[in-house]
Amino acid sequence: MKFNTSLLHGNADNLTFGSTLTPIYQVSAFSHESAEQLEKVFNNKAPGFAYTRISNPTVDSFEKKIAALEKGIGAVACSSGMAAVTMSLLNILETGDEMIAGAGLFGGTIDLFGDLEAFGIKTRFVRHITAEEIAPLITDKTKAIFGEIIGNPGLDVVDIKSVSDLAHSKGIPFIADCTTATPYLINAADFGADIIIHSSSKYINGSGDAISGIIVDSGSFGWDFTRYKGLSPYKKYGKFAYLAKLRNGIWRNMGSCLAPMNAFLNSIGLETLGLRMERLCNNALKLAEFFESDGRVTVNYPALKSNPYYELVQKQFGGMGGAILTIRAGSKERAFKLINHLKYAVNATNIGDVSTLVIHPASTIYTHSTEEQKLHAGVYEDTIRISIGIEDIDDLISDFKNAIDNL
């Protein structure tokens, strides 16, 4: 099966009564015939559902679909993308541990890594997530390398294979936030990423109608149970140890579960991921080319020939550059004016919607960040982030052209 067919016929559905979609199991608890049966379900000795914070058929179906799509051995869905980032790390990190991450991360993730310092988990940031920049920072304490495959909004692209190779040579997993790349552009597991995360609120959902996140385990990382001590009680699960700990431990106990309704909405969105991404990437490239030829604002888009990541985009993503571009308008005032003049593009803090969205990151998502953090994330006073939509490209180009004419 190719990509679009697998989205529809991947067969991860919990179907009853001939329903063509997994229904929304909007219940908190599941009853069982006998006390013996519930005991088995609770102790992972029989399949079944007990309580929606632990598992639910609608959520299970969403998890299986994403796991299959990302070629992983399993997935755990979370209440949000931030919950997925948090749980993926807290599942293996302890006080005294360190991780290495790219400086050009999503604002919420940078804030989170600051929060984790209070628990004795330190993050060392590199300007770019490359093997060359990471290598000198690795110590005995380094337990994870974390990066966004296409940084939001810096739009730096990670060479997954070279970073994974370095991480593996040091016995460290590479945890990849693939939100902006989506499984349409890449299966990061094929290039060596060990744990794959999505804020499925974005492209997987597609319509901006439900927050969710998901963690996929590629199953390929060989955990050293003496280094990752917390995983040792789960040794008997073999390559499923990471997922077993997550599901039976911190994810469940922190209550990071995904609501069945939101799992349903994200499963529906997933069906059109391929169609939307094809359109979004084409629109993004055309709009980026317009900005470049127009010349009145500067543009950053990884699939432009003039972009330093062009070659990597060809190699890793088959030439597709994703659905985010940024422009620099010259000053904060001009950026605000441009945004205010747009007719179709909606001024909102989200990405991955079918409608085009714009935002001024410096005054919003990065308002808590230091000047240095903003600089490293590619957020300048005059930067506008554009999350392209599926509108007709001629309308979008004329909308942006009008707004620039008005400056």
The footprint of ligand PLP (CB under 6 A) covers: 80-82, 85, 106, 108-109, 148, 152, 177, 179-180, 199, 201-202, 211, 213, 351
Q: Which CB atom, from 276 or from 334, has the smaller least distance to ligand PLP?
A: 276
Shortest Å, Cβ 66 to ligand PLP: 14
Q: Which CB atom, from 204 or from 241, has the smaller least distance to ligand PLP?
A: 204
Shortest Å, Cβ 179 to ligand PLP: 4
Q: Would you say 225 and 21 are in contact if contact means Cβ atoms under 8 Å apart?
A: no
Q: Which CB atom, from 91 or from 179, has the smaller least distance to ligand PLP?
A: 179
Tell me the C-alpha distance between 18 and 223, whole Å. 42
Q: Secondary structure of the chain in the HEC alphabet?
A: CCHHHHHHHCCCCCCCCCCCCCCCCCCCECCCCCHHHHHHHHCCCCCCCCECCCCCHHHHHHHHHHHHHCCCCEEEEECCHHHHHHHHHHCCCCCCCEEEEECCCCHHHHHHHHHHHHHCCEEEEECCCCHHHHHHHCCCCEEEEEEECECCCCCCECCHHHHHHHHHHCCCCEEEECCCCHHHHCCHHHHCCCEEEECCCCCCCCCCCCCCEEEEECCCCCCCCCCCHHHHHHHHHHHHHHHHHHHHCHHHHCCCCCCHHHHHHHHHHHCCHHHHHHHHHHHHHHHHHHHHHHCCCEEECCCCCCCCCHHHHHHHHCCCCCCEEEEECCCHHHHHHHHHHCCCCEECCCCCCCCCEEECHHHCCCCCCCHHHHHHCCCCCCEEEEECCCCCHHHHHHHHHHHHHCC
Shortest Å, Cβ 85 to ligand PLP: 6
Shortest Å, Cβ 213 to ligand PLP: 5
Shortest Å, Cβ 326 to ligand PLP: 14
Q: Which CB atom, from 108 or from 233, has the smaller least distance to ligand PLP?
A: 108
Shortest Å, Cβ 178 to ligand PLP: 8
174-177 vs 195-198, strand pairing mode: parallel
Region at 375 (left for phi over 0; alpha for psi -120 to 50; beta for the rest): alpha
Contacts of 37 (CB under 8 A, 6+ apart): 46, 48
Shortest Å, Cβ 185 to ligand PLP: 13
Q: Which CB atom, from 7 or from 324, has the smaller least distance to ligand PLP?
A: 324
Shortest Å, Cβ 327 to ligand PLP: 18
Q: Which CB atom, from 82 or from 160, has the smaller least distance to ligand PLP?
A: 82
Shortest Å, Cβ 82 to ligand PLP: 4
Q: Which CB atom, from 72 or from 208, has the smaller least distance to ligand PLP?
A: 208
Q: Which CB atom, from 22 or from 256, has the smaller least distance to ligand PLP?
A: 256
Q: Which CB atom, from 143 or from 385, has the smaller least distance to ligand PLP?
A: 385
122-126 vs 98-102, strand pairing mode: parallel
CB-closest chain residue to ligand PLP = 81
Q: Which CB atom, from 102 or from 244, has the smaller least distance to ligand PLP?
A: 102
Shortest Å, Cβ 199 to ligand PLP: 3
